[in-house]
């Protein structure tokens, strides 16, 4: 399939010139999208990497915790952004959605520093927001790590069990008389 796409993309140059001269760039956008579709080959390679399977199993097993983290992040962001909008008078926090940017970067401990509270009460809210973000991450990340470790040990045990089974199966092959062959 990728070779076919390469052949389609490397068509006659005069054909491309005609398309460009007609200012019909829609066809070129489709060709660009087809080139991006070639990146999907990476997913075929990822199927063969055991670490990726462990990560996918961990994400699937931790879905409740991830939903909880996102819900807490959304509610906390709205709360702290609203507080910052009403308490800061510098004009940086011109609306609640603009303040949400500050809330997300502060709760996730990223902190760009592009928006800084100016009043004392807004600084107290900022301090509470950063502490709440650190607590949110520190209380939920260990459950994800625990799920990862349990998935890792389960897959390691299954691989070990399969290797033992194959060794036993090879050692207990029978010949035509029904006796074991060593």
pLDDT in tens, 134-150: 999 898 889 999 999 99
Cα 100 versus chain centre, distance: 22
Predicted local distance difference test score (pLDDT) of residue 41: 77
Question: Which residues sit opposite 180 in a β-bridge?
Answer: 174
Characterize 3-34 residue by residue with b for buried, 16 or more Cβ atoms within 10 angstroms of its Cβ, and e for exposed.
eeeeeeeeeeeeeeeebeeeeeeeeeeebeee
How far apart CA 182 and CA 172 sit, in angstroms, is 8
For helices 2-9 and 26-37, angle between their N-to-C axes, nearest 10 degrees: 150
Question: Which residues sit opposite 174 in a β-bridge?
Answer: 180
- CB atoms under 10 Å from CB of 132, counted, come to 17
- The pTM for the full model equals 0.64
**Low-confidence spans in the chain with pLDDT less than 70:** 1-31, 171-182
CATH of domain 51-171: 1.10.287.70
Predicted local distance difference test score (pLDDT) of residue 168: 79
């Amino acid at each position: 399939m990728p070779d076919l796409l390469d052949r389609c993309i490397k068509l006659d140059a005069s054909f491309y010139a005609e398309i460009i001269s007609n200012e019909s760039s829609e066809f070129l956008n489709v060709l660009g999208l087809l080139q991006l579709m070639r990146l999907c080959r990476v997913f075929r390679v990822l199927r063969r990497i055991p670490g990726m399977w462990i990560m996918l199993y961990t994400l699937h097993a931790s879905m409740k915790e991830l939903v909880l983290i996102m819900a807490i992040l959304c509610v906390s962001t709205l709360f702290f952004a609203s507080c910052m909008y009403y308490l800061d008078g510098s004009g940086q926090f011109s609306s609640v959605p603009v303040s949400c940017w500050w809330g997300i970067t502060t709760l996730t401990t990223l902190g760009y520093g592009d928006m800084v509270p100016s009043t004392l009460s807004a600084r107290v809210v900022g301090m509470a927001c950063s502490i709440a973000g650190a607590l949110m991450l520190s209380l939920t990340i260990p459950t994800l790590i625990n799920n990862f470790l349990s998935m890792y040990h389960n897959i390691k045990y299954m691989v070990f069990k399969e290797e033992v089974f194959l060794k036993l199966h090879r050692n207990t092959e029978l010949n035509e008389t029904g006796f074991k062959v060593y």
